[in-house]
Amino acid sequence: MSDKEKLKALKKFLKDQGISYWKNVSTKFGVTLDLSLMVNGWLIAVHLSDDNDNEFYKKIVHCYKPFFIRDDESVEFVIEKMTNLISELNNKQSFKEHLEEVAKRKERNRKYYEECLERHQKNIDKAIKKTKNRRPETPQPKRKRQRIIRVEKIECK
């Protein structure tokens, strides 16, 4: 069975499951996806396997979950692989929750940074206060420069 027939079977499966998808999507990376779908906020890029799989993977992996349809795979295996990927993404934390967690972490780090700055400023204020309370020291005069006397060698007989 050819890859295109497997892709058609996958489309039929997705339609039966009620999952919407887009055909021939062009990305900003200059890659055309054979099929693109979104599950729980995560994007999946379906690609018919060819010689440029590594380049495709490197360009897509940061924004999409790559999904390859290869020559040696059966239709049942492709559908099973897609169901496993969808269930994995459904079990994962949803994308919105992930973004909310990142925002919370940034806010927590910002507050910690402000606390550190406040403590640092208090320490500087204490040091300034200590130096103001001291009596001013009178500067001591510099000592005169002295010439270093060289020692002569004495020969013993």
- Higher-pLDDT residue of 141, 124: 124
E strands of 27-86, at which residues? 32-39, 42-48, 65-69
Closest CA to 19 of 43, 37, 42, 1: 37
Which phi and psi angles does 154 have, rounded to 5°? -110, 125
Whole-model pTM: value is 0.56
Confidence (pLDDT) at 119: 94
pLDDT at 151 over 70: yes
E strands of 40-142, at which residues? 42-48, 65-69
Average pLDDT of the segment spanning 48-57: 86
Strand pairing report for 21-26 and 32-39: antiparallel
Predicted confidence band of residue 56 (pLDDT cuts 50, 70, 90): confident
Confidence (pLDDT) at 135: 65
Q: Which has the minimum average pLDDT: 18-27, 29-38, 100-109?
A: 29-38
Predicted confidence band of residue 40 (pLDDT cuts 50, 70, 90): low
Distance CA 23, CA 31 (A): 13
pLDDT at 20 over 90: no
**Within 10 A of 150 (CB to CB), how many other CB atoms are there?**
5
Confidence (pLDDT) at 4: 84
pLDDT digit string, tens, across residues 77-130: 999 998 898 888 877 766 777 788 889 999 999 999 999 999 999 999 888 888
